[in-house]
Copies of this chain bind each other. A is one copy, B any other.
Amino acid sequence: MSSQVRPQLEPAPTAPQATVPRATTAVQICEVGPRDGLQSVARTLATPLKLAWIDALYAAGLRQIEVTSFVPARLMPQLADAAEVVRHARTQPGLKVLALAPNLKGVQAAAAAGAHAVTVPLSATEAHSQANLRKPIAQAVAELRQIVAWRNAEAPSLHIDAGISVAFGCSIQGPVPQDDVMRLAHALAQAGADSVGVADTTGYANPAQVRRMYLRLFAEIGNADNPVRPGLCGGAHVHNTRGLGLANCLAAYDVGVRTFDSSLAGLGGCPHAPGASGNVVTEDLVFMFEAMGLATGIDVQALMAARAPLAEGLPGEPLYGMTPLAGVPKGYAPASAVAA
């Protein structure tokens, strides 16, 4: 780069560095495939393969994995082994083990199994709240307050994350006013959530909207990944339903997001969009950041190898991701290799 030309888009001045175990990483990747991916697949990945998958993800360098969801087995038999999966994941040193739970009972089970953090889902729209949680938003907020109270009394080290679904658009309601998301974010902050995340559950987000959303969230409730003045807004959780996953992650990075949820092989999907993939693809996301010079601590080649348990246990299931097809470029010099 010539001396007179300076990129205009360096990380925002408030851009964060490390909070969690990130001595050498510029961004954190949180793998959500074992939860968000597997819950969307009708078949069940056998428990030994699930554990092998988590081990392979860990071996590739992942240090945050959302490993399961604590929901009634009759509703989601694919995740009936939730406690066993959490207990296994906890044996990996330095791994932050996350789980999802829609209610107090689930949070208690996650805590009992040893999860470090639990994401409690809420919805940005009443329609989605009814469809997904069978309760109005206000009741979900009230339950979050009860969950925090229980946590304070019984499991003080458990991190409670409140996740706002359909924050960028709802497949039932359609567009979602940003004011509605902000109102809910403030309510969740007041209810005592340790972090508040917004999710593009249905792949409706676009980069301009992503930037507006996080800039406003950081301004109003702060950025959990800002070490100088840490706040409540957690990482980005975007889906790749319309192919914008990486662009939306880039947009989020540009305004200061430093933690990103993604799913190996883009596993998952949206029941309302047959054939459309689910979460942003971990392999491509890691490749993007590493190629940009932003260390993730994750080895892309090892990540590709971590697809094996999925291919073995879910034959015929579409495995997304372009980097695994093409391989890394000739002379590829990932940031993590330089940092290591």
Given contacts A1-B178, A206-B291, A208-B7, contact A326 B247 (CB under 8 A): no
Q: Interface with B: A49-57, A109-117, A139-147, A237-245, which one?
A: A237-245
A8 within 8 A of B: yes
Q: Which of A68-76, A90-98, A166-174 contacts its partner?
A: A166-174
* The one of B220, B246, B270 that contacts A2, using a Cβ cutoff of 8 Å: B220
**Copies of this chain, how many?**
2
Once bound together, how far apart are the Cα atoms of A321 and B229, in whole Å? 40
A326 CB, nearest partner CB in chain B, Å: 4
Within 8 A of B (CB), among A226-277: 240-244, 246-247, 249-251, 254-255, 270, 273-277
Query: Would you call A28 an interface residue if the criterion is a C-beta within 8 Å of the partner chain's C-beta atoms?
Result: no
- Mark the stretch among A59-67, A81-89, A154-162, A210-218 that contacts chain B: A210-218
Main SS at interface, chain A: loop
Q: What is the bound-complex CA distance between A274 and B330, given in angstroms?
A: 15
Residue A287 CB within 8 A of the other chain = yes
Question: A4 CA to B317 CA in the complex, in Å?
Answer: 46
Please name the residue on chain B nearest to A284 by beta carbon: B243
Minimum CB distance partner of A333 in chain B = B175
Interface residues of A toward B: which range? 35 or more
Q: Which one of B220, B241, B250 contacts A207 once the chains associate, using CB atoms below 8 Å?
A: B250
In angstroms, Cα B250 to Cα A274, docked, is 27
Closest B residue by C-beta to A4:
B219
A8-B174 in contact given A206-B292, A287-B242, A327-B273 (Cβ < 8 Å): no
Q: Does A191 contact B (CB under 8 A)?
A: no
A12 at the interface (CB under 8 A from B): yes
| A–B complex contacts, Cβ < 8 Å, 23 sampled | A2-B182, A2-B220, A5-B212, A5-B215, A5-B219, A8-B211, A8-B215, A9-B211, A9-B251, A173-B330, A202-B329, A203-B329, A204-B329, A207-B292, A209-B291, A240-B322, A243-B284, A244-B246, A244-B284, A247-B288, A254-B254, A276-B325, A277-B322
| CB contact under 8 A between A243 and B322, given known A207-B250, A250-B207 | yes
Set of chain B residues within 8 Å of A219, measured between Cβ atoms = 2, 4-5
**Chain B residues within an 8 Å CB radius of A9:** 9, 211, 251, 254-255
* Bound CA–CA A136/B170 (angstroms): 55
Given contacts A208-B292, A291-B206, contact A270 B326 (CB under 8 A): yes
In whole angstroms, what is the CA distance A328 to B203 when docked?
A: 10
Chain B residues lying within 8 Å of A255, measured Cβ to Cβ, are: 7-9
User: Which B residues touch A215, using CB under 8 A?
Assistant: 5-8
Most buried by B among A8, A172, A322: A322
Interface contact B329-A169, CB-CB below 8 Å: yes
Q: How far is the CB of A247 from chain B (nearest CB, A)?
A: 4
Q: Which of B216, B327, B330 contacts A170 (CB 8 A)?
A: B330
Whether A185 is near chain B, meaning CB under 8 Å from some CB there, is no
